[in-house]
Structure 1
Amino acid sequence: MKSAKHRFHRNFKEAATIFGYNGMYPGPTIEAMKGQAVRVKWINNLPLKHFLPVDKTLEDAMDSPEVRTVVHLHGHNVAPDSDGHPEAWFTRNYEYVGKKYCRQVYEYPNQQQATTLWYHDHAMGVTRLNLYAGLAGFYLLHDFNEQSLDLPRGKYDIPLMIQDKSFRSDGSLFYPDNLTPRNQFVHPSVVRAFIGNTMVVNGKVWPYLHVEPRKYRFRMLNASNTNGFTFKLSNGQPFWQLGTDGGLISVTKAIQKFPLDPAERVDVIIDFSGLEGETIILQTEELDLQGNPDIHKREVMQFRVGNKGGDSIPLPQNLRPFDKLEEAKAVKTRRFVMSQEVDGFGRIKLTLNNLEFSDPVTEFPEYDTIEIWELANPVFDPTRPLGIPPNISHPIHLHLVQFQILGRQQFNVNPNKFNANQWITNGGGIEFVSNPVDPDPSEMGWKDTVRVEPGQVTRIIVHFKNYTGEYVWHCHILEHEDYEMMRPLIVIKKYND
């Protein structure tokens, strides 16, 4: 990890300062095969001072060095000492380390099915800054089942890291240093949300890609700090979905559009056959903060279809058997509330069940057991459009495990109708105002991140296996994760009576 210069657009006056793995942004794509372990030594060669605004009031930031890093391989089933715990950070030359730091070389066993993973910084209190600065890269895991399928491969298999960013007039990265309105007590101060005004794909502003008139596989990742998007194609043709966060789904299916919150991935085929000479645009249904279509971020990137090339590969149908987790086998149901309060500086602080990260652990799932988690998001204003604050979803990510989404259900968020403590304790104190609805078609598969929508209870089913030990779970809006919307999670050995 080192500081480097990166030009986001050829017309920018200067190259921007970034933090990059091997000085690259995005970082090098690591490709691995199931059953073959990979060892990585993550080395911090970054400067001692951050080029983005560090809030010293946040956990671990007040009395720690400004530039701290630790790497989390997102979505990987890995032992705790290689998971990238946020308190396992280290500085340049390992001079200073966090209290959970224990090793320099991480081991990734690669014992899960083929999927699109990604690695990124996870240091307590500065994750939002380090990832925005460029510390993110792809990790593609393959297996023999995936390789036996007629899927686009090689130069026709392309990961897309999609982010929104803002820039100064000289082409350098902009990140706000204070709240709006400005906080007189804290400067720099963490912001509740960061919404960039420019779309960046694989490190380039509004790029284009020359494609042949044939099928391409795109592994799409939303690596933004805060913003969720709904993606579609400008010519109205469908995507052919292959997979979700955790790997291939059972059967290829057509989807016209799909939502993708920070950290979520979707694996799709776009078929450019018969589109010679055309330009197809990957678009969003983005709204600005006033609820109007955001014309600046509507267009993400162009696909410019050439006249040569093609393929005769049929679209694959059956991809992988899917084992559905059974609710009847769940040994426990846990309930959580996306909570918020005002801190001592007058800032809104978002938490889980009104607990901070340093509060005692409350989640001790037993190894090789199945649990149902029900996550309620009561922050909802029915007069505002979805996606416009305060009506935002929280992308909740669980380390170690993959899970399945059971569905969502609207409830009455009126404080007189919703008792958060009662809901957490026994499932009471809630008034549902709709029938449960199935997950979005694009979510039908293994997931490690789930959108907890405003005004709804989102239910997931989780099998805790692979390892025991201490992990974390959190909102993947990085500004929330850095400021207390993260909790410890300890998987314990199962004891029989």
Structure 2
Amino acid sequence: MENPSADIPDSPLFKRRTLLRGGAVAGLASLVSAHSVFAAPHDAGPGGPEPSAEKLILTKFQDPLRIPRVLRPIERGGHDELTVRLRTAEVRVHSQMPAVRMWTYEGSYPGPTIETVRGRRLRIAWENELTGTIPVTAVDFGAPGGPSPDPLSNYPGTAGCQEVAGVAGLQPWAAVHLHGMLTGGGNDGWMENLIAPGDVQLSAYPNDQSATALWYHDHTHHVSRFSVYAGLAGLFVCRDEEEQALGLPRGRHEVPLILSDRNFDLDASGALTGRLVHKVEMVGTKLMRTHAAPYTLVNGVIWPYLDVDPRGYRLRIANTANSRIYRLMLLADGRPVPGALKIIGTDQGLLEAPLPLEGALNLSPGERADVLVDFSAFRGQALKLVNTMEGVVPGASSARNDLLEPDVMQFRVADRKPARFTPPTVLSSTFERMSHHDMPHDTAPRWVVLVGPGTANVPELWEMEEVTDAEAAGLTFPAAGIVQVKDADGMLTTLRRTAMDYDDGRAFTVAHDSVEIWKYLNLAASPHPMHIHLAHFQVLARDNYDVTGFDRTVRGTARPVAYLKAAALEPHEQGEKDVIRVGTAGEIRLGPNGTPGELVTVAVRFPAIGRGVHHCHMLEHEQHMVRPLVVSPADHLHAGHHAGTPH
């Protein structure tokens, strides 16, 4: 299955003799244009290189943003086909350091952007041609007394660290997951169905969902935090008629921003070697802090710059970092630009209308945002995209919060006549917020409780079931695995843990094409981005709860977790989603209950059938905060049962 000639920057988006054949792609003639292709930077602008934070060695804004090349499938009758090779490669991430050995898709990091048309069924052969052992050195460090005010993970090198056992010799097994694609369990990249070098994962994707940006990455069970860190990630873009008719910025004015963070080793002279280092802090009795690395990469380039015209741009932003939450702001002359970014789409497609973003754009790992920005008011200026935190001046560093170098990238706006851009007032006529009529009214919600570290010193994901009032009356509190919740109306719900570990026997079993309410309750200090395979959802509410009644030793509530107040949904949380952050992002609050408890309620649709998982998308948590999920045809769930027979 050969690939089309996608390396040529000005090649058409779709080279297909029968592009307009059949209703699935009728009316898409306007897509056959060079203007749809992500284009490379051009024309020098203002701004320039700057020194980075002390000890980080590299110069910021030294290298131009690299635009991943585009792969497009070729037609094979009633479906499209594509071959993507997993290859070991030497990748340049900064001009002042050696190339980095990485595991990649098609020899680049990130992998090529796969572009498709909605309604064209897609088959991808993921061919494993990886060689050698994993090109990552995994280390940890720690000292008694709690987290360091300036952890070693802020800096390159492995001094003061110990090697993590069992990582150096990892062989190149792989399992590719096309994150956000609504496909059956057999094609979802099940994390235990691994392919060895020389083998092929054959996946069929319906590719019949709204125009959006998905992403593909390795999903190998137990080691995805290392395999994705090694470079196995790339963007996937689906187009459709509705999106094309909007006249949104395209060509070189549509720019993917694929965010990640990395760390590297040093040689004896203190120079960067280009060897990837996965470094984490262990706190107290060997509790792992979430991973954070000092070098921010955009499209595989450390702190790049992009020359832009004084006009509107479309930014396709994806957070592909292991665990870092990016809280993004645009700065001009060192000050935030309110309303500079307008959200037009979320994980799973366009919103009904653009939504202004007055504060920061919070993207947790796995989340994507479709963003418009108008540079016409900044002719001849340089702007910065920065990562921020509450309580820290935007653009300032905070070593204790893993924000030693807050800059992400620089935009250099050309000094030429501006071209005014007016966003469409209506984006998607097919998107609708779910209403009371769309909700299930005869089934109890699913409850998932996120809990801080237990005896194994790892955070936990608890699946729960509601307990009857009679059963609750016989309980003594606190009791292990029992959580009581008092909602805004004062109603008390008692929950009992039914499963926690991946291998626990029970699994959520869901009827195909059903809608369910899932309630995520976070009792931990850390936020968690929760991802559901085989599904997409809308966020109904985000509420703050008092969680001080949870006894962390007994692992149950001594008094009910109680409603405090409603919290606002952010603009990028108001569309169709497949990842949602549960817990407050970007706030600095100390103490055992530093982060307020949150209850996030989502309405989930299940259009795909098979066995999948739901899990935290912080990859350092994925190994232990993951549970199986089964979506079955509704009639299969009840076949063969007689009236009155329990099932």
TM-score (norm 2): 0.66
Tell me the residue number matched to 2:213: 116
**TM superposition shift of 1:336:** 1.2
Task: Identify which of 119, 123, 129 aligns with 1:39.
Answer: 123
Question: Offset of 1:422 from its aligned partner?
Answer: 8.3
Deviations 1:253-295 (A, max 9, x none): 2113221100111101111113221001111214677656935
- Which has the higher relative contact order, 1 or 2, with Cα contacts under 8 A spaced 6 or more apart? 1
Relative to 1, partners in 2 of residues 1:472 and 1:416: Cα closer, same or farther, differing over 3 Å?
closer
- Taking the aligned partners of 2:382 and 2:96, their CA distance within structure 1 comes to 22
Q: Alignment partner for residue 601 of structure 2, among 459, 471, 483?
A: 459
CA contact (8 A) 2:539 2:574 kept: yes
CA distance in 1: counterparts of 2:282 and 2:600, whole angstroms: 31
Q: How many pairs does the alignment contain?
A: 457
| Contact kept in structure 1, 2:262 and 2:293, CA below 8 Å | yes
Given that 1:34 and 1:112 are in contact with CA atoms closer than 8 Å, whether structure 2 keeps it comes out as yes
Alignment match of 1:269 (pick from 347, 351, 372):
372
Give the corresponding residue for 1:374.
Answer: 519
Query: Residue 348 of structure 1: which of 458, 466, 472 is its match?
Result: 458
Partner residue of 2:46? Answer: none
Counterpart residue number, 1:474: 615
- Offset from partner CA, 1:289-345 (integer Å, 9 cap, x none): 76569351x2110010113475455321100132222345323301111134445xx
Aligned equivalent of 2:325: 228
Q: Which amino acid aligns with 2:435?
A: E
Return the match for 2:261 from 156, 164, 167.
Answer: 164
Amino acid at match of 2:609: T
Segments of 4+ in structure 1 off by > 6 A?
287-290, 417-423
Query: In the TM superposition, what is the alpha-carbon distance from 1:433 to its structure 2 partner?
Result: 3.7
Q: 2:107 aligns with which of 8, 13, 23?
A: 23
Cross-structure match for 1:175: 277
- What amino acid sits opposite 1:105 in the alignment? L
Label 1:476 to 1:289 Cα distance change in 2 as closer, same or farther (>3 A): farther
Alignment partner of 1:280 out of 363, 372, 383: 383
1:7-18 map, 5 Å: 7-12=92-97, 14-18=98-102
Give the Cα separation in 2 of the matches to 1:373 and 1:419. 27
Post-superposition Cα deviations, 1:340-380, rounded to whole Å, max 9, x if no partner, equal: 4445xx6435333461111123201111211111111111x
> Root-mean-square deviation (CA), in Å?
2.8
Q: Is the 8 A contact 1:361 1:489 kept in 2?
A: no
Picking from 402, 412, 428, the partner of 1:304 is 412
**Aligned partners of 1:54 and 1:66 also within 8 Å:** no
Equivalent residue for 1:70?
175
For 2:295, the equivalent position in structure 1 comes to: 198
Structure 1 unaligned regions, length at least 5: 56-60, 95-102, 185-189, 380-390
Q: Indicate if the aligned counterparts of 1:65 and 1:91 stay in contact, CA closer than 8 A.
A: no
- Contact 2:452–2:523 at 8 Å: present in 1 too? no
1:488 aligns with 2:596: no
Q: Cα–Cα, structure 1 residues 124 and 252, in superposed 2: closer, same or farther, change >3 Å? A: same
1:93 aligns to what SS in structure 2? coil
SS in 2 for 1:457: strand
Corresponding residue SS for 2:566: coil
Once the two structures are superposed, what CA deviation does each residue of 1:24-49 show, in whole Å capped at 9, x if it has no partner? Answer: 11101000000012211111111242
Deviations along 1:126-180, one digit per CA (max 9) or x if unpaired, are 1111111111101000000000001001121111111121122324244346753
Q: 1:6 pairs with 91, 100, 124, which one?
A: 91
Change (3 A) 1:360 1:309: farther
Change (3 A) 1:173 1:332: farther
Return the alpha-carbon distance in structure 2 between the equivalents of residues 472 and 231 of structure 1.
29
Partner of 1:97: none
Equivalent in the alignment of 1:100: none
Secondary structure of 1:91's counterpart equals coil
User: 82, 85, 88: which one pairs with 2:187?
Assistant: 82
Q: Report the CA distance between 1:69 and its aligned residue.
A: 0.6
Q: Residue type matched to 1:193 in 2?
A: T
Asked if 1 retains the 8 angstrom alpha-carbon contact of 2:309 and 2:375, the reply is: yes
C-alpha contact (below 8 Å) 1:150/1:313 kept by paired residues: no
Residues 279 and 291 in structure 2, CA contact (< 8 A), matched pair in contact too: no
Q: Is residue 315 of structure 1 aligned with residue 397 of structure 2? A: no
Structure 1: distance between partners of 2:552 and 2:109: 45
Which residue identity lines up with residue 473 of structure 1 in the other structure?
H
- Aligned mates of 1:260, 1:134 — CA distance in 2: 20
Does the 8 Å CA contact 1:8/1:171 hold for their aligned counterparts? no
- Say whether residues 1:406 and 2:531 are aligned partners: no
Deviation at 1:209, TM superposition (A): 0.3
**2:196 alignment partner, one of 91, 102, 112:** 91
2:197 maps to a residue whose letter is R
Structure 1 Cα separation of the partners of residues 550 and 331 of structure 2: 45
- Paired residue type of 2:296: M
Alpha-carbon offset, residue 81 of structure 1? 1.4
**Match of 1:80, as an amino acid?**
G
For residue 479 of structure 1, give the secondary structure of its aligned residue in structure 2.
Answer: helix
Q: Which moved more, 1:151-160 or 1:411-420?
A: 411-420
Aligned residue for 1:358, secondary structure, equals coil
In 2: Cα distance, 1:293 partner to 1:10 partner: 24
Q: For the residues of structure 2 that align with 1:218 and 1:351, how far apart are their CA atoms?
A: 34
2:247 corresponds to 1:150: yes
Q: Which residue identity does 1:472 align to in structure 2?
A: V
Distance 1:420 1:71 in 2: 39
1:285–1:293 Cα contact (<8 Å) kept: no
Q: Which moved more, 1:315-324 or 1:109-118?
A: 315-324
**Structure 2 stretches of 5 or more lacking a match?**
1-85, 140-165, 267-271, 464-498, 584-594
Asked whether the equivalents of residues 70 and 123 of structure 1 are also in contact (C-alpha less than 8 Å), the reply is: yes
What TM-score comes out, normalization by structure 1 length? 0.85
- Structure-1 separation of matches of 2:110 and 2:95: 17
Larger gyration radius, structure 1 or structure 2: 2
Deviations 1:387-444 (A, max 9, x none): xxxx321000011211011112222222458999989xxxx96332413333123311
Amino acid corresponding to residue 272 of structure 1 in structure 2: F
SS of match in other structure, 1:11: coil
Secondary structure of 2:134's aligned partner: coil
